[in-house]
Structures are given as structure tokens and as C-alpha cells.
Amino acid sequence: MFNLFNNKMIYYGLLFLFIALTGSYLFIIYAFPSVSNDSGYYLKIAYDLANGLSFFKELNCSYSPLVMYMLSVPFYFSDGIGLVFMFTYYFAVFPLIGVLFYQILKHYSSSKKMCLFFTTLLIAANFVFEGFHILLEPYVLLFQLTAIWILLTWKLKSSSLFLVGVLIFLAFYSKQYGLFIFPAVVFWIYKEANNTKRFFIKTSYLGFGFLVPILLAIGYFYTYENIAVVNFLARLFGIDALKGDEVITWVAYTTAGVFKKVGQFTIDFPFFALLLFFIFSKKNKITSQINGFSLLLVIGAFCTLYFAYYSHYFQLIIPYVILAMLSFGRNILEKKSMILVPLCLVFLVGASLKYKNKFVEKREHHHEQLVNIPVLKSNVISKDVYLHGISPAYYFLCKYNSPSYAVLGYKYPVSLTLNTIASEISKGGCILIEPKFFKPELFNAYSKINEFKVMDGSNSKTIFLLEKN
């Protein structure tokens, strides 16, 4: 029987293609450096943090702040840090993810070739699913994988479980969705403990590991920034965003849309279909320790789609699909690994087609931002500017400050009413707005300072500059 991992030509050929795919994405990143909408949002907050902004006291932001604190480090040394350096600083997380994932895979398979194969696949797939932008997900994944590696390696050692709890907190503090691995970790401890008393004792170490950094953070922000405990916890857990009228996703979110996105994911990452086949095979016991653990990781990862289903959310799903696929189908993959070859080809063909579109998109964004930055700097004197109809990337690229940190922050216009935006901008603050969004009755307290054109892809559009009197 043909074995992929024993056929050097096909095995190393596929590894080469995965690496080449990753390299091709790195090429367009460095050849055409540009800032995406989300990246501009995160980078400007990181820049502000380095310049003294208090995240919990002054800024309205529903995200957890840890990654933005990490991204702020270079700006403590220089305000003029360039995009190439920031991308390099950011991408340093990917080799760490690769090393950790390889070590975790060794608990699923004794085949070093199989471990290397799926590690390389993971890195390539992350780039395909928008990993070429500066985002929060890779850092969440870094802390999650570190927690899982420690759990699988040192099992029920009390100090290790405490550390696992700390790492789950760090994943959560990077983005609230990072908490989804918690049920799988508790399940693993339950199976490993063998008796109820030991389970509760060991779980308490995990809980302490999660709670201690929260208590330390509460103490720090209460003592040094006078942040009320209730307000801190509400921000930390995103309660204000969940209870209020805030729109927390930028797509027309529907249940049907979720299934459509998962269907597209199955086409783009066909290994998920293989996992489903393995799970529903009668030979597999879902309740076994490793199978149950892996399945709960996958279920938890897919639960993040409840909030939104952007492509980069799948960066937190792919590694757990791979782990579950190995858990449920290890025997089949070791004996009949040829089934991976057509799936790899489907993945590579789809990724290549995506790459073609992303190449054009990145080149266009790069050119657009090169043209727009000097136009904006020459036409907008104020630094307190809210952007409506122009990419949030320019908050960072032009170093615009929010004219209302406490209410507007750097939030997308779709998450706020036009009336809120108009009323909350402070006196002397400005807004850049497209004419189609301009409502004279809402902006009667504003003066029109300027009107000019900016690039919008291959086209141009008119922008009004309004200043509040």
C-alpha cells in the first residue's frame, strides 16, 4: 500500500509546496507592505499605549488588550517604526507556533515525518486564511498551544496545571475567544485524575492559575489607574459589548451565513471533511481521553463563529481540526496516508487561486496607501480625526488621534449611529466623511473645512473634512 510518509519524492514535494506557499505570501507582504482595516486599528492603539494612553481608563475598545500591549513595545523605542519592522516583529510568533504544534503532534503520532508534515501545513494554512495581516489570532493560538503542550507533557503536576491556567488567561487576555479551550482542558484533567476528589483538587490549581493574574490585574489597575473593579471586569469580559446595542460584527450575520462559511472552509481546507469521516466512523470512541479532548477543542473553536465568521477566525480552528483528525484517524493515516494526497492538491490549488487575488489586492492597497498618505497629510492639519468612509488603516498611517477616546475610540462607523458620532466628537475635533454619509441636520455644529479626493482601490472618491465648532 502506498504510504505518503515513506515516499520521499511526494512527501518532500508537498512539504516544498507548503513552504513555497508560505514564502509567496511573505513575498507580497514585504514587496507591497500595507495596513489592513483591523491592523490599522490594533497598531494605532498599540502606538497610543506606548505614548501614555490608558487602555481601560480612557479608551472605548471591546477587545482584550494584551496583544496591543505586545505590539506597542517597538514604539517605546521610536515613534517612527516602519511597516517592514512591524511585520517582522509580528511574524516572529509563527516559528514559535510551529515549534509548539510540532511538540504537541508528537503526543498524537510517533512519526516525525507526519508531525513535520502537519506543522508545515498549519503554517501555510494560517497564511491562506489572512495570516498576512497583523491580527490577534496568532498570539491567542501561541498561548493556547503552550497551555496544551504543558498539559500533555506534564499532565497532572500541580505547578503545571497552575501554569496552564495562567496561559489560558493570557490567551483570553489576548482575545476573549481564547477561553474556548477551557472545557477541553477540564475534560482532560477529569479523565487523567481517575477519581472525583483528585479531579477537584487538580482543577482548583487550574482555576487558581486563571484567577491569580486577573486578581493581579485588578489590583494594578485599581491602585495605579483608579479603575473600579466592576468596570474592569465588564471591559475584560466584553460584557458592555454583549449587553449594549454595539454591532460586534461587520458582516450581515446569519445562521445560514455560518453554514455557508463552514462549507467554504471545507473546500478551502478539505482536511475538515476527512475529520468528519473519521469522527462518524463506528470504530472511534468519542469518549476516549484523547478523542474527547480533541473533539472538544474543535467544538470550542467553532463556537467562536457565533460572534462572527471572518476568514481569519479559522486560524483558531485549523490546528484543532488537524489534532482531531490525527486523534480519530491516526491508524488510517499511518496505513493509508495516500488519502492525504488529493486533499493536499485541492488545498494547494485553492490556495494558489486565493493567492492570485491577494497578490492583486495587496499591490492595489500598497499603491492606494502610498498615494493617499501625502494627500491626507496635506489636506488635514488636525490630528484629532474620526474616519467615516475611509479605512481605519489611516489612523495608524497618518497617526490620527480619536476625537473621543471614551465613546468613539477607533470603532468602525458601522458599530455606531451617525448621531452618536456627530455628537460625541469634541470641540475642535474633525471627521473625514464620504458625501453619501453626510447629513447636514446632524452636522449643523460643524464647519466644512475642505473637500478632496482619495484613492479607493483603482478608483477615487470625494471626502469632506468637517470640524466641530
Q: Rounded to an integer, what distance in angstroms lies between the CA atom of residue 99 and that of residue 101?
A: 6
What is the percentage of the chain residues whose pLDDT exceeds 70?
95
Q: Are residues 51 and 129 in the same domain?
A: yes
In this prediction, residues 47-51 reach a mean pLDDT of 97
Is residue 224 domain-shared with residue 294, that is, in the same domain?
Answer: yes
Cell of 45: 492603539
Tell me, what's the pLDDT at 245? Answer: 46
What digits encode the pLDDT tens for the residues 338-347? 899 999 999 9
One domain for residues 105 and 150: yes
Q: How far apart are CA 118 and CA 321, in angstroms?
A: 11
pTM across the whole model: 0.94
Pair (354, 373) in one structural domain:
no
Say whether both 348 and 377 belong to one domain: no
Average pLDDT for 52-69: 92
Task: Look up residue 245 and give its DSSP letter.
Answer: S
pLDDT in tens, 125-172: 999 999 999 999 999 999 999 999 999 999 899 999 999 999 999 999
Query: Does the pLDDT at position 243 exceed 70?
Result: no
Average pLDDT across the chain, whole number: 92
What is the reported pLDDT for 336?
85
**Contact present, 65 and 86 (Cβ < 8 Å):** no
Determine the average pLDDT of the residues in 94-116: 96
Confidence at residue 199, expressed as pLDDT on a 0 to 100 scale: 96
CA distances (Å), origin 294, targets 113, 120, 188, 417: 21, 20, 10, 42
pLDDT band at 4 (very low <50, low <70, confident <90, very high): confident
Whether the per-residue pLDDT at 17 is higher than 90: the answer is: yes
The verdict on 40 and 137 lying in the same domain is yes
Lowest-pLDDT choice from 11-15, 204-208, 247-251: 247-251
Query: Given this model, what pLDDT does residue 242 score?
Result: 42
Res 249 pLDDT > 60: no
- Domain residues for the domain of 439 are 365-468
**Which value, to the nearest 10 degrees, does the dihedral of the CA atoms of residues 221, 408, 79, 141 take?**
70
Q: Can you tell me whether residue 466 is helix, strand or coil?
A: strand
DSSP 65-129: SHHHHHHHGGGGT-TT--HHHHHHHHHTHHHHHHHHHHHHHTTT-S-HHHHHHHHHHHHHHHIII
Q: Which of 335, 359, 383 is the last residue of a domain?
A: 359
Q: Look at residue 247 and tell me whether its pLDDT is greater than 50.
A: no
- Look at residues 322, 363, 350, 298 and name the one whose alpha carbon lies nearest to residue 129: 350
How does residue 178 score in pLDDT terms, banded at 50, 70 and 90? very high
pLDDT tens digits for range 290-344: 999 999 999 999 998 887 788 999 999 999 999 999 999 988 888 888 899 999 9
Domain count, the chain: 2
Q: Are residues 347 and 436 in the same domain?
A: no
Residues 46, 125 within the same domain: yes
pLDDT of residue 238: 75
Please indicate, yes or no, whether residues 318 and 455 belong to a single structural domain of this protein.
no
Same domain (yes/no): 28, 174: yes
Query: Does position 99 have pLDDT exceeding 90, yes or no?
Result: yes
Residue 282: its pLDDT value, please?
Answer: 59
Span 195-210, pLDDT tens digits: 999 999 999 999 999 9
- Pair 386, 429: CB distance under 8 Å: yes
Q: What is the pLDDT of residue 287?
A: 63
- Strands 385-388 vs 430-433: parallel, antiparallel or unpaired: parallel
Return the pLDDT at 253.
59
pLDDT for the residue numbered 240? 57
Mean per-residue pLDDT for 387-409? 94
Pair (369, 354) in one structural domain: no
| Minimum mean pLDDT range among 65-69, 251-255, 319-323, 328-332 | 251-255
**Domain's final residue, options 359, 375, 406:** 359
pLDDT at 119 (0 to 100): 98
Boundary (domain end) residue, out of 329, 359, 389: 359
| Same-domain pairing of 350 and 256 | yes
